């Protein structure tokens, strides 16, 4: 039997995502009510510019006083899609204090203060759901938090930023340079006017922190995630990748150490074999590859951003939270029982592709190989091309630690025969 009194929802933010949330709540009201067991009512919308016309939203619902809205006491669920750290953090904790559960898409805040927000939700007996914070419409948080709760996740490897994937895909498929591909992404609306958060890996790093925390039942903050942007990737790097049967992606990689005693989280460009499922992810799409003991290898794929896809994830959380509200229960909160240490990047072990500019004369390869050996880095393959006294030497290593590779490169720079290090890139997905 359906309850007739509606559950009241406060919406914080009415931009690209918030407006889609409001639209779906209105156009799918009957279906949502049937799925939840009670109608849901949009009780207020907090915005910065109240004079702007918002189709389908009554002007009576619009307010600039977000604090008063979340303090009302009759609000059942607060949907936060304003982003940033403040005032979002204060508004969410205030919502908990006044009896509301929260659905958020705020990856930056969750990566920085997720533990404190979970603690506040638990203290007040409320839900904190955030499927939309990572990978847009792709169901990922709930499978990791619930479907795989009985399994042991060992690795999460993914493309979690559509803007960077579009740029790298365009560079790969057309031979365009970085700036040319970025300009096209901006013209098409995939890249912001200031693309720094995307191309420097900040966005992906926040998502990696969230994924690692859930996957490994360990608190992982944004500061724990190694981050390297993709602005230095060149057409020459893609040419080298093609010679190896690879392409280049900006990856978020969260791994449990082989001994199970620590974890790592990192974001950086990497070469991956064309045979790997992530290599075929094109355009602005996202995909995440999960490896676990019992389930084996799972891949989650779909649109990772955009108003409607992200709103779909928000509404999925809204339905779950409303159902919990009606039953007087709460869903799963933070699971950080493992308390595993997060290892620094220097301890990460992977393969490397190093391109060196060297003198084209006898003995250079032997000198370079000796430096690698002295630092305990094993060489897998070497390619050398040269003319007119200059040469390019490409070395692909077996698995080595980042610290060992850094020491190797530092020593290589001191060789008289090495003119410079053209590029260094990790190779993943083997």
Q: What b/e readout covers 378-416, taking b as 16+ CB neighbours within 10 angstroms? A: eeeeeeeeeeeeebbbbbbbeebbbebbebbbebbeebe
d(C-alpha 55, C-alpha 46), whole Å:
15
State phi, psi for 264 to the nearest 5 degrees. Answer: -135, 155
Q: What is the DSSP letter of 261?
A: S
Say whether 207 is catalytic. Answer: yes
Burial class (CB in 10 A: 0-12, 13-18, 19+), 259: exposed
Q: What is the arrangement of strands in the sheet containing 40-46, beginning at the earlier edge strand?
A: 62-63, 40-46, 7-12, 77-80, 101-104, 128-129
Render the burial of 121-136: b for 16+ CB within 10 Å, e for the rest: beebebbbbbbbbbbb
DSSP, residue by residue, 287-352 = EEEEEETTTEEEEEEEE--SHHHHHHHHHHHHHHHHHHHHHT--------TT---B--GGG-EEEE
Please check whether residue 65 is in contact with residue 90, taking contact to mean a CB–CB distance below 8 angstroms: no
Catalytic residue among 8, 107, 170, 207: 207
Cis peptide before 87 (omega within 30 of 0): yes
**258 and 300 in contact (C-beta within 8 Å)?**
no
Q: What does the alpha-carbon distance between residue 179 and residue 198 come to, in Å, rounded to a whole number?
A: 14
Q: Exposed, middle or buried, 71 (CB in 10 Å: 0-12/13-18/19+)?
A: middle
Residue numbers annotated as active site: 207
């Amino acid at each position: 039997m359906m309850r007739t009194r509606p559950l009241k929802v406060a919406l914080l933010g009415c931009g690209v995502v918030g407006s889609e949330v409001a639209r779906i709540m209105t156009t799918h009201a009957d279906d949502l009510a049937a799925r939840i067991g009670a109608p849901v009512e949009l009780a207020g919308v907090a915005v910065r510019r109240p004079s702007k016309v918002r189709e389908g939203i009554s002007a009576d619902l619009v307010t600039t006083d977000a604090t008063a809205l979340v303090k009302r006491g009759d609000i059942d669920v607060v949907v936060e899609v304003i982003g940033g750290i403040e005032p979002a953090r204060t508004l969410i904790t205030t919502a908990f204090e006044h009896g509301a559960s929260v659905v958020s898409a705020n990856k930056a805040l969750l990566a920085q203060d997720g533990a404190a927000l979970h603690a506040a939700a638990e203290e007040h007996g409320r839900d904190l759901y955030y499927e939309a914070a990572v990978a847009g419409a792709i169901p990922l948080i709930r499978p990791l938090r619930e479907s795989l709760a009985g399994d042991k996740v060992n690795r999460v490897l993914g493309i979690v930023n559509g803007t960077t994937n579009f740029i790298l895909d365009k560079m790969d498929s057309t031979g365009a340079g970085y700036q040319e591909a970025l300009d096209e992404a901006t013209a098409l609306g995939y890249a912001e006017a200031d693309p720094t958060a995307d191309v420097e890996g900040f966005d992906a790093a926040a998502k990696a922190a969230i994924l690692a925390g859930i996957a490994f039942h360990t608190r992982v903050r944004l500061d724990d995630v190694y981050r390297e942007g993709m602005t230095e990737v060149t057409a020459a790097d893609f040419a080298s990748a093609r010679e190896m049967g690879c392409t280049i992606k900006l990856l978020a990689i969260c791994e449990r150490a082989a001994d199970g005693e620590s974890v790592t989280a990192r974001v950086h460009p990497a070469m991956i074999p064309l045979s790997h499922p992530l290599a075929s992810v094109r355009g602005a799409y996202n995909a995440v590859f999960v490896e676990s003991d019992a389930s084996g290898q799972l891949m989650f794929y779909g649109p990772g951003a955009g108003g409607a896809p992200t709103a779909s994830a928000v509404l999925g959380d809204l339905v779950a939270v409303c159902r919990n509200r009606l039953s007087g229960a709460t869903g799963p909160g933070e699971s950080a029982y493992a308390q595993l240490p997060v290892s620094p990047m220097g301890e990460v072990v992977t393969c490397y592709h190093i391109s060196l500019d060297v003198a084209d004369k006898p003995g250079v390869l032997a000198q370079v190989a000796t430096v690698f050996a002295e630092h305990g880095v094993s060489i897998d393959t070497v390619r050398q091309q040269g003319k007119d006294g200059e040469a390019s030497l490409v070395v692909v290593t077996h698995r080595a630690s980042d610290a060992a590779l850094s020491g190797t490169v530092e020593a290589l720079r001191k060789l008289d025969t090495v003119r410079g290090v053209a590029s260094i890139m990790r190779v993943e997905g083997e």
